[in-house]
Structure 1
Amino acid sequence: MSGTEESTLAVESNLATDRPAVGVVVTPENSKHLPHAVLRAQQSEYDVLVVPTAGVTEESLSFANQLDAQVLKHASETDVSPTERLVEIGRSTGYPGVIVQDELRTKVDFKASEAALREQANYFVEGVRANTHDEEGEIVVGIPAYNEEVGIGSVILRASEYASEVVVVDDGSTDQTVEVAREAGATVIEHESNSGKGAAVQTLFDHVAGQSFDALVLIDGDGQHVPSDIPQVVGPVSEGESDLVVGSRYLEDSGEDETPRYRRFGQRVLDMLTMGSSRTNVTDSQSGFRAFSPKAVEELELNSQSFGVESEMISEASSKGLDIEERSIDVRYDGIDGQTQNPLRHGLSVVTFLLTLVRDRHPLLFFGLPGLVFFGVGALYGVDAILVYRATGEFFPAKVLVSGFLTILGTLGLFIGLVLNRIGNMIAEIGSE
């Protein structure tokens, strides 16, 4: 036994406990699921003993060490089996028993396992498999990431509690995001260069398109989103009630709004523009926390490469006749930098995309409404010039010129809007035949 292991166990042996320890057997084949197994046990308030077998590297054990699990000697360095090693250490440190887990991808029902342990005369018991998988369905959690090495590991570990697979699309990060994500057990897809959030979301859609799944959930990798909200957001999709569920920070039951005021003002502007482009009223159009049904993944055609993808999803879903809902979520801001680019630049890029979307999908609104305003202002200016001339006999050429310019501009806007709207309707009619 190493000095570190001896000192650790000496401390633990002085602690009285009436709960068994969870003993995790790590092999080279299951090592990628080790962080998930440790985290699940610790969240259920069990101490964790980890015994690696031959071939397991120190790198694979790094997350277990960071999570304060007790990592024992490699089983190959002792004369006993991994289970016997766990029993030996469990007895010497005063635990009343050990729940052994070697299938790390499988979720364990720790309460049932502890009950089975108490009913048997043996000191250890194999972990009882939880029957939650069929109830929850196949949920894939997708995380678009760019330079998120600080928060991505904990996000993956917590999201894995609710997912059959966690997929990270690294969008050309220059830090250790890829390495941390892989160590945390995620499937990682890498972009060679930074292509934008929209491109990362499309990669996620392409990844799950050929799979069998019940829901795809998108969350951000910076730690703002709380993974424990996943069941709440995915619920309407799992129950077949909605195709797209947006996690909103601003519904009445979402708790206190901690969003900085300057961000909230900008978000309200984007919410209104999104409503104009999609004719769907949502309270948090820029939320990156959302769930999709397989139908939505198949039918949504995304073109935006940037942050405009959040609004495009809503507009696309609305145009395809998909059901859209919102569910309240919590967010964390303290100690988290949720911006990967300048907020002003971010906002302007989304505004530009939304205006383009309105122009292409609702030309009568884009051209006709401003045209009507220009025409009205020009007409009022012209009437004012006529009334002044009649009352005083004084002629104002500037007013007449401005009136004529605005009236002509407004007429052109209305004409262009009407023509483009008719063309769009004809194309839609031909496409539906």
Structure 2
Amino acid sequence: MIPAKDEADRIAATVTAARGLPAVDLVVVVDDGSSDRTVELALDSGARVLRHSRNRGKGAAMETGAEGVLMVEEHEAAAGTVRPPRHLLFLDADLAETAKDAAPLVLPVLEGTADMTVALFPATRLRLGGHGFVVRLARDGVRKATGWEPEQPLNGQRCLKRAAFEAARPLAPGFGVETGLSIDVLRAGFRVKEVEVPLEHRATGTDLRAQMHRARQFVDVARALAARDLGPAVRRTWGDAVDGARGGAKEMSRKIGQIARKKR
């Protein structure tokens, strides 16, 4: 399952690599309001494509994709092919050729040693521009909610059983989806583990656009935690920045910058 928005440069390589993964017999791309050739290139590469007419965010794309897989399975059953529900492997659209290295995420779920796996990118290949304060917020929230402390709580490369996914619905909106998914799956009693995989994707950078992106991430993660009754606990650590989640991204960027500098 590959949520995508304006990923024409990489979507074909990502789909092609994903189709070669072990046990993968279906690749679904959910186009989240792209204005480029993402849909055309995904189709040409062998993916099934579902489309949002406007951008609805990653969480909505993940849910649309899961519904699409369910529809495929219903059609298969109507044609006489009855099978257990497929596990769901979520990959970012910008992985390109490195998506072929996601196999270690699949095996623990297939073998029954985990109900959800989360990718752990090796530090030597993690060149993502340093959004550490958002990572710390998500990590703090997951730990306080479940007792589990993930190293890379925002990593979107995940494989999980359908039952685990359904237990986490509705998913948290926006960039809070990974944090909310981890908390909800663990609270429902499923087993989660991080698995090192040699994947990589684009760095977010350090310019103003990247800072605004991280501000939006912070807002969405803070809201996901608050929706799971973790607002007071996180506020004790992050103070005004969490309270500022109701404000605009520019104000959030200023506040979280102040907090992040204090925590270095």
TM range (shorter): 0.7 to 0.9
Higher RCO (CA 8 Å, separation ≥ 6 residues): 2
Deviation at 1:168, TM superposition (A): 0.2
SS in 1 for 2:126: coil
**Cα–Cα, structure 1 residues 358 and 269, in superposed 2: closer, same or farther, change >3 Å?**
closer
**Cα–Cα, structure 1 residues 153 and 246, in superposed 2: closer, same or farther, change >3 Å?**
same
Which of the residues 343, 346, 351 maps onto 2:218? 351
1:146-190, CA deviations, whole angstroms, 9 ceiling, x for partnerless residues? 000000001111111122011000000000000000111100000
SS in 2 for 1:223: helix
Which of the residues 168, 175, 180 maps onto 2:29? 168
Q: C-alpha separation between the residues in 1 aligned to 2:63 and 2:128?
A: 30
SS in 1 for 2:3: strand
Contact 1:169 1:203 in 2 (8 A): yes
| One-letter identity of the residue aligned with 1:323 | R
Contact 1:225 1:289 in 2 (8 A): no
| One-letter identity of the residue aligned with 1:366 | P
Deviation at 1:267, TM superposition (A): 2.6
1:305-350, CA deviations, whole angstroms, 9 ceiling, x for partnerless residues? 31111111101101111110110012335xx4668x9433333333
Deviation at 1:255, TM superposition (A): 5.7
Over aligned residues, Cα RMSD in angstroms? 2.8
Alignment pair present for 1:241 and 2:110:
no
Deviation at 1:265, TM superposition (A): 4.9
Which of the residues 221, 229, 253 maps onto 1:362? 229
Contact 1:273 1:351 in 2 (8 A): no
Once the two structures are superposed, the pairs formed by residues 5-404 of structure 1 within 5 Å of their partners are 142-162=1-21, 163-210=24-71, 211=73, 212-223=84-95, 226-249=98-121, 254=122, 256-260=124-128, 262-333=130-201, 336=202, 342-362=209-229, 366=232, 370=236
Calculate percent identity across the aligned residue pairs: 25
Q: C-alpha separation between the residues in 1 aligned to 2:25 and 2:197?
A: 21
| One-letter identity of the residue aligned with 1:239 | E
Counterpart position of 1:95: none
SS in 1 for 2:119: strand
Contact 1:299 1:320 in 2 (8 A): yes
Deviation at 1:261, TM superposition (A): 5.0
| One-letter identity of the residue aligned with 1:209 | L
| One-letter identity of the residue aligned with 2:113 | E
**Cα–Cα, structure 1 residues 207 and 297, in superposed 2: closer, same or farther, change >3 Å?**
farther
Q: C-alpha separation between the residues in 2 aligned to 1:283 and 1:367?
A: 20
1:253-290, CA deviations, whole angstroms, 9 ceiling, x for partnerless residues? x3614324523454334323333344421111111111
Any unmatched runs of 5+ in structure 2? 74-83, 240-264
| One-letter identity of the residue aligned with 1:201 | M
SS in 2 for 1:304: coil
SS in 1 for 2:124: coil
Contact 1:307 1:346 in 2 (8 A): no
SS in 2 for 1:226: helix
**Cα–Cα, structure 1 residues 214 and 325, in superposed 2: closer, same or farther, change >3 Å?**
same
Any unmatched runs of 5+ in structure 1? 1-141, 374-433
**Cα–Cα, structure 1 residues 266 and 300, in superposed 2: closer, same or farther, change >3 Å?**
closer
**Cα–Cα, structure 1 residues 283 and 193, in superposed 2: closer, same or farther, change >3 Å?**
same
TM-score by length of 1: 0.47
SS in 1 for 2:149: coil
Q: C-alpha separation between the residues in 2 aligned to 1:278 and 1:235?
A: 24
Contact 1:255 1:330 in 2 (8 A): no
TM-score by length of 2: 0.74
| One-letter identity of the residue aligned with 2:55 | N
Counterpart position of 1:9: none
1:16-73, CA deviations, whole angstroms, 9 ceiling, x for partnerless residues? xxxxxxxxxxxxxxxxxxxxxxxxxxxxxxxxxxxxxxxxxxxxxxxxxxxxxxxxxx
Greater Rg over alpha carbons, structure: 1
